[in-house]
Amino acid sequence: MKNKENSNKSPKQKTEYIKLDEILKSLFTVSNKVLINMINTIFHENYNTKDTTITRRNTEFITPEYNVLKADLILELKSKKKNQDYHIEFQTKNDKTMIIRMFEYGFSYAKQKYDQREENDEKILFYMPKSIVMYIEENKNISDEIDMIIVFPDKQEVTFKVPVMKCWEYSTQKMIKNKLYPLLPLQLFNLRKELIKLNKEKTENEDKITEQMQKVMQITKQTIDETAKLEENKEIKPEDMHTILLAISNLFQYLNNKYGNDTKLNEEVEIMTKTLYDPVVEARGIRIGEAKGIIRTCIEFKLEKDEILNKLKSNLNIDDEKANKYLNDYYNENKKD
């Protein structure tokens, strides 16, 4: 997420910008299943979560002038039927040069992949990633896609297009319906525009700012509750819930510190997220202890691995994937020579 005006920001503003950037990127550190489902929605794909791998790719590129280009996020998805790279950029402002940067990022990444190829192709092939710009703040002037025309010396013209995702158009329920679970924290951002407006005359608008922060607090509570329901219904893992709750807490603090500055609200949100997550962590620890005990007992009775798997599934009421994970994680440490 980069805007042209960032070079003119004060050190404090740059620090705040970097923090916001990192919060947004953290939304994509969820488990593979959750991330793949989100990619399916964003890019209109149909990857099977069971046979698809996902890999984060390098996002920093050195230009011939030794400058550094840094994209927000590039992911490689591989399945039995398809292998594709995906490039995502976050934006808050409507920047007309965004399409140029998208081309630079895509071209730089394609060149990097070409340079790292193993086979010697007769033709030079650059595979551009499939890209999208995610605008997280409402702006009526943002269109459904951004584009530019590349004109070659022979007058050949090629149009480079990138679709746009307008995050503010997605309500909480619409995000949940489309399995955009990691984007739930962005609901808090819907009220930033009004906070910015009120802060231009902060002294005169103190009561209105307090009222607006209470609205942000209400949305925060609702988003936390929805996240907890997703974990309870096994739509996301406890680790995913932690990632989302942490983003909610950090995003609330970012907005509150920048526009509201009520430390009590920060503490309240922190307590809310901690109260939800700690019992889940404790329960997970208990479950791991139970799994270790079952594996240890089965090994003592000299049961084969497939028999241990069946014991784990029946005793803990878990599926094949979870049983295999427990076995892979804890079999060797309990096996005696």
The half-sphere exposure of 179 on its side-chain side, counting CA atoms within 13 A, is: 20
At 322 the pLDDT is: 80
Q: What are phi and psi of 80, to 5 degrees?
A: -65, -30
**Tokens matching residue 275:** 């109260």
Residue 19 lies in a domain: no
End-to-end alpha carbon distance in the chain: 53
- Containing structural domain, residue 328: 280-334
Residue 126 lies in a domain: yes
Out of 118, 144, 169, a domain closes at 169
Out of 147, 169, 191, a domain closes at 169
Return d(Cα 150, Cα 160) in angstroms, integer: 7
- Report in angstroms the alpha-carbon separations of 15 from 6, 10, 265, 267, 333: 11, 9, 22, 22, 44
Identify whether the C-beta of residue 292 lies closer than 8 Å to the C-beta of residue 266.
Answer: no
pTM above 0.85, yes or no: no
pLDDT digits 0-9 by tens, 144-202: 999 999 999 999 999 999 999 999 999 999 999 999 999 999 999 999 989 999 988 88
Mean pLDDT of 202-215: 89
pLDDT digits 0-9 by tens, 78-101: 999 899 999 999 998 888 899 999
**Tokens matching residue 293:** 């005990």
Mean pLDDT of 40-46: 96
Return d(Cα 247, Cα 23) in angstroms, integer: 6
- pLDDT of residue 270 exceeding 50: yes
Residue 56, strand partner residues: 75
How many domains are contained in the chain?
Answer: 2
Please, which residues have CB within 8 angstroms of residue 120's CB and are 6 or more apart in sequence?
none
Domain shared by 286 and 165, yes or no: no
Identify whether the C-beta of residue 244 lies closer than 8 Å to the C-beta of residue 181.
Answer: yes
Lowest mean pLDDT among 100-109, 177-186, 295-304: 295-304
Of the ranges 3-17, 52-66, 218-232, the best mean pLDDT one:
218-232
Domain shared by 161 and 288, yes or no: no
Burial (Cβ within 10 Å: 0-12, 13-18, ≥19) of residue 106: buried
CA-based nearest residue to 164, from 98, 67, 76: 98
Domain shared by 37 and 165, yes or no: yes
pLDDT digits 0-9 by tens, 244-257: 999 999 999 999 99
Return d(Cα 73, Cα 118) in angstroms, integer: 24
Identify whether the C-beta of residue 133 lies closer than 8 Å to the C-beta of residue 164.
Answer: yes
Out of 169, 184, 201, a domain closes at 169
Residue 165 lies in a domain: yes
Domain shared by 284 and 165, yes or no: no
Residue 26 lies in a domain: no
- pLDDT of residue 232 exceeding 50: yes
Residue 227 lies in a domain: no
Residue 98 lies in a domain: yes
Report which DSSP code applies to 52.
-
**Tokens matching residue 327:** 């076995």
pLDDT digits 0-9 by tens, 324-336: 888 888 887 766 5
Mean pLDDT of the chain: 87
**In the chain, alpha helices (H):** 11-26, 32-42, 98-115, 172-177, 192-199, 206-232, 238-255, 263-300, 305-316, 320-334
- pLDDT of residue 285 exceeding 50: yes
Residue 23 lies in a domain: no
Residue 300 lies in a domain: yes
